[in-house]
Structure 1
């Protein structure tokens, strides 16, 4: 089955370029395009794609509000586009439910890879630059009121699950976590799944945000 994608960007040439690259792939189908946030939401509701490639800054409704609506509405995953790697809206976009972000000058192969990764249920979190970026925005943003005191919120996790969550927040892959914990990758996948399920999180991105919000890890604690 093909990965069904909606591409939303207010710049027609950018939108068309991304659509052409993705549509040329044998396993990806661009089912619709949108020029603003309102159109993006409407396209997702009409076509029910697997993934929405969404620009953060758009007219009528920005990408953050659109991402929040799409993520709350169903199972469509959101991959954000931004012009600068330190875009002030990146952290808000991740909190809205996006599964990661790309720079608009992304290489063709990296764009295709990102769409496949996010559509498969993963997130663009492994690269250390992404982890540092999230840590930076977490430290600069006003801390949100947690859903529950940190100790209570994380009390549902076992010690090994908390340890796994801490390593996820440091940007470690499943293989790296397995090596540090001296367990199999299958065991790590089980721990990761338990963390997401018990805390009601969509993916690894939200797990990292939760790790910072609860004080399980602090900005700069990347080693």
Structure 2
């Protein structure tokens, strides 16, 4: 069932591959929930489109000519031009980490299904930072800092349950079902936890729990 929205989610697609851009544009344009307001082949073009027509979500490739996705994301976030969902093949784990530090709200693997793409965009649109499990596993595997570096002291057992569920990539609805609490309660817990760690979104919390590194 489609999520009810007053207006379509305005999306900009930034990728230097014509095939990727056109494919995602077609996938989104045939869905009444989305409006692709522009396509860009590099970060600079994405910024210019965002300045002209305010987007809700920008799908941003990392490696692009002229201006890469990391630099573009930093500019977009600093100037409140929209929320960024990173597209990645995570060839370089450091690039993903840098994009997170730049303020990206989510990470999407390019070999996604159309429905997964749409759901990830909606999650970012509604304020939920998202990261695919395989990317979290890669960050954990490649991290030089072990999981044990995450300090559990100062947290209640329920808060630890919430943190672990976030790190597993579960949505608020899935966490609520797993822990037999309401979605509102889950949201309140996550807000409190993020404030304790001075983190901006749940994706950063997941990375911190799994790798011991605070992205921001």
The bucket for the TM-score relative to the shorter chain is: 0.7 to 0.9
Kindly report the root-mean-square deviation, in angstroms, between the aligned alpha carbons of the 2 structures.
3.1
- Give unmatched runs, 5+ long, in structure 2: 1-6
CA contact (8 A) 2:15 2:41 kept: yes
Q: Deviations over 1:142-189 (max 9, x none)?
A: 89xxxxxx88xx99x763546533542344443564467664443222
The CA deviation at 1:35 is 1.3
Matched, 1:121 2:127: yes
- Mapping of 1:90-105 within 5 angstroms? 90-105=96-111
The 1-side partners of 2:117 and 2:204 are apart by 21
- Mapping of 1:12-91 within 5 angstroms? 12-74=18-80, 76-82=82-88, 84-88=89-93, 89-91=95-97
The 1-side partners of 2:53 and 2:198 are apart by 26
Say which of 130, 136, 140 aligns to 1:131.
136
Check 1:162–1:7 CA distance in 2 against 1; reply closer, same or farther (3 A cut): same
Indicate the larger mover: 54-63 or 205-214: 205-214
2:4 is aligned to: none
The 1-side partners of 2:39 and 2:57 are apart by 12
1:194 is aligned to: 192
TM-score (norm 1): 0.74
CA contact (8 A) 1:97 1:206 kept: no
In the comparison of the two structures, how many residue pairs are matched? 203
The CA deviation at 1:14 is 2.1
The CA deviation at 1:63 is 0.7
The 2-side partners of 1:192 and 1:208 are apart by 11
CA contact (8 A) 1:161 1:194 kept: no
The 1-side partners of 2:81 and 2:177 are apart by 32
CA contact (8 A) 1:95 1:209 kept: no
TM-score (norm 2): 0.76
CA contact (8 A) 1:7 1:53 kept: yes
The 2-side partners of 1:75 and 1:191 are apart by 28
Say which of 107, 112, 123 aligns to 2:113.
107
1:205 is aligned to: 203
The 2-side partners of 1:118 and 1:74 are apart by 14
SS in structure 1 at match of 2:37: strand
The 1-side partners of 2:112 and 2:189 are apart by 32
Check 1:75–1:41 CA distance in 2 against 1; reply closer, same or farther (3 A cut): closer
